[in-house]
Structure 1
């Protein structure tokens, strides 16, 4: 969801010098320190070292009411970090010759009943969708979508992503396709439909067969139903705009809403360990056999006043920071916050997940950028 980009833009982040076990203790201590400081229910974190070794840590509770401890293997909704999987799958399909980034969306969806009512319908390309330059509004932040959230998320197993397209159908485009930048979950929902049209598979199956399974990301599963095994309970503010109760799951830890509503705007539950490994492989050029890094990192400016920030294919890119370039994505969905960051100058990748969005959704807390910064500085120092 769009908040994923807000998190993506709240940035702080040769071999390793100390034993991994000692590093694990440091990571757990740092995560525990942040829990004491910010009083969140629970969190997990992982750091992938230059050689691919992944350290993990966890602190707090996956279910406050039941007193269930969170572990490094506890999954959470990864939200918009899923865009990196979707975009990489599109690049894989391009490598296979199944589509081109220059293809008009009309080539892969022009026969849909809603297509002609789509803003910029005749000029949007796959590349525009990848880079958020389509001019499409973002359905997630439309009042009509938020008002219908409860209705959209109660029919578990029956959700159709094309329902999301109807919220932007008939609206004026934000700008002509390719002429500016505006984050749009709707665009990635459309990419999911393109993947399905090209492969004949559900979009998340195409992601699984090309990326998740070959890379052995066993903790990553589609978030397409409320009863996700082992999922940490999420906690939201009582006055959240979606009208959700503070605890977003029932006593059996089944979500009170259907996360399939996110569709290809995110679409996965994962662990911090899997996210760190994914970032290490993706940004290290090892996620696919065919070359892809130049296409992944070929970014467009997001704001004329911030020339050092660009957006590639499902990745936010910070060209110049105190830690060198930073590549990654953030994720937010009610009750969950995630962050993925790669520091190419140091070969370090970090990920963390927190099972509350209180203070994050309304920007009243600096938790996410502070945790990103401290984990990055200490991880980089540790591998020097």
Structure 2
């Protein structure tokens, strides 16, 4: 979900050049987890170019190569008003990267024989428009035709007035169910948060456990993702950066409100750290939690993207940009990307505490920086 024109808690504006002048100082010291990668200078130049071009307040960036030194650095400010440097161990809401976790859980249940990708959603949940036609694969691949609940005026009105409002997943999808599906399942691609909220509900129905618990048991614990969580409230472990809307032309910043993760559920509720996202990006891209055949199917079902994040193609809870596979996230002051290049087993992860406003609100700063870092990786 993008931040649209969310009414903001306006706490002042700062000129980016002045406010971000201390950003370079935060590149070293205790926030430096690299220092020996021969490409480090080029990585730093890529980050510097994003500050210059788009005025991001703060950035975390990392590159994980099999058998090589892990490179991770913090840049800029976690809080502009207090001139607080971005901390390398910051916890970020990861927005739509949550989708890749939710769909991975679904595929694990497929692998265990507990659900089938061809099963229709009505088998698990009642009241879904075209529920007798929409398969779990349609939902995972954004081909269901169901309207995006987060784009409906009824949801958005409550969300703007009370960003911390507590929602049930059923309340979210009910906004979608009140709208006629845009097309029959499989006919088109249309990115919709409704799809993965429903899949999260399927996981809960099949396992009899809350989604948070299933994520912990099947993904967080096996991968050692100690800094990753599916929270019930907006409160996250410190340090958590302040979210901003940024005018990428002028550099003006507006602080954004915290939002209840329940407003995103299985489509975007999770939070994580840079170190954990580097691990997750590799697991997602290589399919380490799935059988090779199922991982291959996950990617082979990808189709061209016509809306939403700027992937080239989107498979089952995984997007493709060039030869890289992974996921991005964006909305209300945070943008994130974690992508893996399987042929070299390299993962790039980026976290930015800002999302563009105005005419560029659909632009993902993290994705842009990922592509610049990917170019460095591919040049060698």
Partner Cα distance (1:289, 1:133) in 2: 24
The equivalences for 1:299-378 within 5 A come to: 299-302=301-304, 309-318=312-321, 321=322, 325-359=323-357, 362-363=360-361, 367-368=365-366, 370-378=368-376
Partner Cα distance (1:269, 1:135) in 2: 28
The equivalences for 1:256-267 within 5 A come to: 257-267=259-269
SS of the equivalent of 1:228 reads coil
Stretches of structure 2 that go unaligned for 5 or more consecutive residues are 4-33, 248-252
Q: Does 1:287 find its partner at 2:289?
A: yes
**For 1:235-268, what per-residue CA distance to the aligned partner results, in whole angstroms no more than 9, with x for missing partners?**
1259xxxxxx93235xxxxx3x312211011221
Stretches of structure 1 that go unaligned for 5 or more consecutive residues are 4-17, 239-244, 250-254
SS of the equivalent of 2:245 reads coil
Quick one: higher RCO (CA 8 Å, sep 6+), 1 or 2? 1
Q: Say whether the 8 Å CA contact 1:54–1:276 is kept in structure 2.
A: no
Aligned residues, how many?
341
Q: Say whether the 8 Å CA contact 1:299–1:310 is kept in structure 2.
A: no
What is aligned with 1:241? none
Partner Cα distance (1:340, 1:54) in 2: 15
The equivalences for 1:143-292 within 5 A come to: 143-151=153-161, 153-155=163-165, 158-230=166-238, 231-236=240-245, 246-249=254-257, 255=258, 257-288=259-290, 292=294
Cα gap change, 1:223 to 1:28, in 2 (>3 Å): farther
What is aligned with 1:242? none
SS of the equivalent of 1:283 reads helix
Q: Does 1:92 find its partner at 2:100?
A: no
Q: Say whether the 8 Å CA contact 1:54–1:277 is kept in structure 2.
A: no
**For 1:198-241, what per-residue CA distance to the aligned partner results, in whole angstroms no more than 9, with x for missing partners?**
11111122112101111011221124311111221101259xxx
Partner Cα distance (2:82, 2:306) in 1: 49
Q: Say whether the 8 Å CA contact 1:133–1:182 is kept in structure 2.
A: yes
**Pick aligned residue for 1:74 from 81, 84, 90:** 90
Q: Say whether the 8 Å CA contact 1:106–1:122 is kept in structure 2.
A: yes
Q: Once the 2 structures are TM-superposed, how far is the Cα of residue 68 of structure 1 from its aligned partner?
A: 1.9
Partner Cα distance (1:336, 1:191) in 2: 24
The equivalences for 1:46-125 within 5 A come to: 46-51=62-67, 54-110=70-126, 115=127, 118-125=128-135
Partner Cα distance (1:83, 1:364) in 2: 18
Q: Say whether the 8 Å CA contact 1:52–1:280 is kept in structure 2.
A: no
**For 1:124-166, what per-residue CA distance to the aligned partner results, in whole angstroms no more than 9, with x for missing partners?**
11111101111101112223322221356334xx431211112
Partner Cα distance (1:265, 1:366) in 2: 17
Q: Once the 2 structures are TM-superposed, how far is the Cα of residue 349 of structure 1 from its aligned partner?
A: 1.4
Partner Cα distance (2:157, 2:143) in 1: 27
Q: TM-score by structure 2 length?
A: 0.81
Cα gap change, 1:378 to 1:149, in 2 (>3 Å): same
Q: Say whether the 8 Å CA contact 1:152–1:159 is kept in structure 2.
A: no
Q: TM-score by structure 1 length?
A: 0.80
Q: Does 1:131 find its partner at 2:141?
A: yes
Cα gap change, 1:129 to 1:364, in 2 (>3 Å): closer
Q: Say whether the 8 Å CA contact 2:355–2:364 is kept in structure 1.
A: no
